[in-house]
Each structure stands twice: as structure tokens, then as C-alpha cells.
């Protein structure tokens, strides 16, 4: 194995500078990607984010088709609107208009 491998990259240590506490399970923007908090991360503190896999995340009203590219908006909700939002990944399963969550393969 190459000697310059440092980790698998499934998790990232992240410092919360959002101005608000992040709760375990919240999706947060990290540059042009997103992470999902694995623990509660108070503002100004450091914690671990998941950077892959499939997560159920809150979504805006409206149906989302399976396979659609999805984005994280400023309210930490999943949308299909790209403008002004951070790409989150793709819808791993379809979500109906009335569903409160959608399954997202993050950073894919």
C-alpha cells in the first residue's frame, strides 16, 4: 500500500463556525460538499462529520425523483434547486411531495 495514505475519508474532523449549535444528524455545508454531524457540535467546538453513505435528511416541500441531483439550502433542507445552494449528492430513493425526509447519497 502507498505510504502517503492518511485515512479512508469517510469522516472529517470539523470545527463549527456556523454561529449555532449543530445537532447529531444535521447536514452542514463544508465548502462545496456537505457532511452529516455524527455528534452534537456546539458552536466553536470540533466534532466528526460523515462524508459519505446514505442519510435521511429533511427536505423542502415537493417531490424528488430517485437519482435526482440534490442540494442543501440555507435552512439545512434538501432541495433540487441548485442556485445559491451546496450540492449534497443524489436522491437514493424517491420522496413524495408530502414526505418530510429524503434519502441522500451524500457527496456523490
Is 24 part of a structural domain of the chain?
yes
**1 pLDDT band (50/70/90 cuts)?**
low
CA distance 24 to 81: 25
The pLDDT value recorded for residue 6 is 84
Sole residue written with cell 462524508: 51
How confident is the model over 13-33, as a mean pLDDT? 97
CA distance 63 to 80: 9
User: Same domain, yes or no, for 35 and 65?
Assistant: no
Is 4 part of a structural domain of the chain?
no
User: Same domain, yes or no, for 38 and 68?
Assistant: no
What residues make up the domain containing 20? Answer: 11-50
How confident is the model over 16-24, as a mean pLDDT? 97
The pLDDT value recorded for residue 2 is 86
pLDDT in tens, 35-88: 999 999 999 999 999 999 999 999 999 999 999 999 999 999 999 999 999 999
How confident is the model over 27-34, as a mean pLDDT? 96
Amino acid at each position: 500500500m502507498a505510504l502517503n495514505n492518511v485515512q479512508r475519508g469517510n469522516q472529517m474532523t470539523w470545527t463549527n463556525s456556523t454561529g449555532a449549535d449543530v445537532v447529531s444528524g444535521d447536514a452542514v455545508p463544508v465548502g462545496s460538499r456537505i457532511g452529516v454531524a455524527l455528534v452534537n457540535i456546539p458552536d466553536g467546538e470540533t466534532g466528526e462529520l460523515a462524508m459519505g453513505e446514505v442519510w435521511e435528511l429533511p427536505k423542502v416541500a415537493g417531490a424528488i425523483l430517485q437519482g435526482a441531483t440534490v442540494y442543501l439550502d440555507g435552512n439545512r433542507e434538501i432541495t433540487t434547486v441548485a442556485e445559491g445552494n451546496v450540492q449534497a449528492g443524489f436522491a437514493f430513493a424517491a420522496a413524495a411531495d408530502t414526505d418530510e425526509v429524503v434519502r441522500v447519497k451524500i457527496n456523490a
